[in-house]
Amino acid sequence: MRQFLYAKNLLLNSFCLVLIYTDLRLKFQISRSSSSSNNTYISVINL
């Protein structure tokens, strides 16, 4: 039972990491397309 819970937590954690990663990539793409480098800084802070 404990192994199942551990596997479930691992799956949830990796899923959250993937979500965060894609969110980061989207934010960086948006900030890169805008002209000022200040927006990149702001998008990193807004996590």
Q: What is the pLDDT of residues 25-45, one digit of tens each?
A: 888 776 666 555 555 555 555
pTM strictly above 0.75: no
By residue range, what is the domain housing residue 34? 2-45
The whole-angstrom distance between residue 32's C-alpha and the CA centroid of its chain comes to 17
In the prediction, which pLDDT does 11 show?
Answer: 92
Q: If you search the block for the tokens 């894609």, which residue do you land on?
A: 22
- Buried-exposed string 2-20: b where 16+ CB fall within 10 A, e elsewhere: eeeeeeeeeeeeeeeeeee
CA 21 to chain centre: 3
**Total domains in the fold of the chain:** 1
